[in-house]
Structure 1
C-alpha cells in the first residue's frame, strides 16, 4: 500500500512540474504568431501630406481700371488669358518688373501664369466719387455710336443699367459701348448684348425718354 501511495505522489510531482514549465516558458512568453495577431496602427499618407502643405503668401490688391487685361507672362507681347473688372480684388503672389502675378501657380513647362500690369492695381480701394464713376463708364463705352454728341446721356443711362444689374461691365466690354439700332430709325435707340450674344440678349436704351428694355 505504501508503495502505491509513493507512486501516486511521484506522478503528481511530475505533473505539477510540467505545468510549471508550461507557465514559465509558454504562457509568460507568447509566441511570435500571437504577437503578429495584434492590430497595427497605419499612418495615412494623405494626412501626412496635408501636414506638409504650407499656405502660399499673397497680398490683396484692388483693380482700379475697368477691363484690365490679364497676360500669360509679364509682358504685353504675351497671350491675353482674361480680364478683370473695376474694383475687383485680386491676390498677388509675386511682383516682377512692374508686373504682378495673380495666380498661385506657374506652368512648369510653358512658364505661363496670370499677370497684371502694376499700374492697374492699388492697395487702396478706389473711391466711387461721381467724377471717378463718370470717367470709368466713359472708358467702358468709348466706342458707342454717336458718343460725342450724347456723351453725358449715354453715361447716365449706362450707369442705370449697371446699377440695376441688367448688364455687367464684362457684357459692355464685348462691344465697348452701344450700337445704333436700325429697327428704330426715327428714335435715338441703341443696344448692346447683356448676358449672351443671341438676339434675345439685346438690351436697348432710349436717349429721349430714358427707357431701358429688351
Structure 2
C-alpha cells in the first residue's frame, strides 16, 4: 500500500513540474486588452533646393583699343583727362550704363560734386589682347607721327620708341606730350633727336643719335 502511494505522489510531482515548465517557458504572456501600440511619428524629409554658387563678378580688364579716353563723366562728350593704351590692365570698380569706373570718387573743390574716372566698356576686354608685329608698328607710328624728319628716320624712331616703352623707360603718354621726336639744336653736327620721359625737366630728356643708334642723357 505504501509503495502504491509513493508511486502516485511521484507521478503527481512529475505532472506538476511539466505544467510549470509549460506555463513559464512555452506559453508567451498575452498583452493586456487595453494596451495600445504607440507608433513613432514619421519624420518627413524636406528637400532643400540647392542654390548654385554665384559666379564672382570679373573686375580685371584689358584695354582693347589703340587709345582709350578716360573721362570724368559717363559721356563721350566729356573732355578726356588722360588716355589708356592697348594692353593696359585696369580694375573696374563699378559698371553703369555701358561705362566702367576705374577710380574712387573724389571732389575737386570743397562743396563740389563727386566725380570719378570712367572708360567705355566697349574699349575693354576680359582677356589680354594679342598685338601682332604689324599692329604694334601701326600703334608706335601713331605715337610719333609728328616727329621731326619722320620720313627720313621713321624706322629708327619706331624701333627706339618700342624699346623705350618695352623697357618701361617711357610710356605712350610721354610721346603723346610732344607727339614724337624733336630735333636737337644743341648737337648741330649730329642727327640727334630727343623726347621727354617721366616729366618735362632737363633730367627727363632722352637723346637719340639716329646714325649710330646711341641713346643717351644730357
The 1:171–1:106 alpha-carbon spacing in structure 2 relative to 1, beyond 3 Å, is: closer
Matched-pair contact (CA < 8 Å) for 1:66–1:140 = no
Residue 203 of structure 1 and its aligned partner are, at CA, apart by: 0.2
Matched, 1:142 2:145: yes
Matched-pair contact (CA < 8 Å) for 2:105–2:114 = no
Distance 1:79 1:146 in 2: 31
Distance 1:82 1:57 in 2: 26
Listed one character per residue, the Cα deviations across residues 67-89 of structure 1 (whole Å, up to 9, x for unaligned) are 53210111233243333243122
Residue 128 of structure 1 and its aligned partner are, at CA, apart by: 3.3
Residue 105 of structure 1 and its aligned partner are, at CA, apart by: 4.7
Alpha-carbon RMSD across the aligned residues, in angstroms, is 2.7
The 1:177–1:59 alpha-carbon spacing in structure 2 relative to 1, beyond 3 Å, is: same
The 1:195–1:91 alpha-carbon spacing in structure 2 relative to 1, beyond 3 Å, is: closer
Matched, 1:158 2:165: no
Distance 2:119 2:151 in 1: 31
Distance 1:117 1:149 in 2: 37
Instruction: Report how many aligned residue pairs link the two structures.
Output: 158
Listed one character per residue, the Cα deviations across residues 6-57 of structure 1 (whole Å, up to 9, x for unaligned) are xxxxxxxxxxxxxxxxxxxxxxxxxxxxxxxxxxxxxxxxxxxxxxxxxx95
Matched-pair contact (CA < 8 Å) for 2:71–2:80 = yes
The match for 2:76 is 76
Secondary structure of the equivalent of 1:145? coil
The 1:166–1:114 alpha-carbon spacing in structure 2 relative to 1, beyond 3 Å, is: closer
Secondary structure of the equivalent of 1:160? helix
Answer with 1 or 2: which has the greater Rg. Answer: 2
TM-score (norm 1): 0.63
Which has the larger helix fraction?
A: 1
Residue 179 of structure 1 and its aligned partner are, at CA, apart by: 0.6
Runs of 4+ in structure 1 over 6 Å off: 106-109
Secondary structure of the equivalent of 1:135? helix
Gaps of 5+ in 2: 1-55
Distance 1:190 1:85 in 2: 24
The match for 1:94 is 95
The match for 1:64 is 64
Matched, 1:200 2:200: no
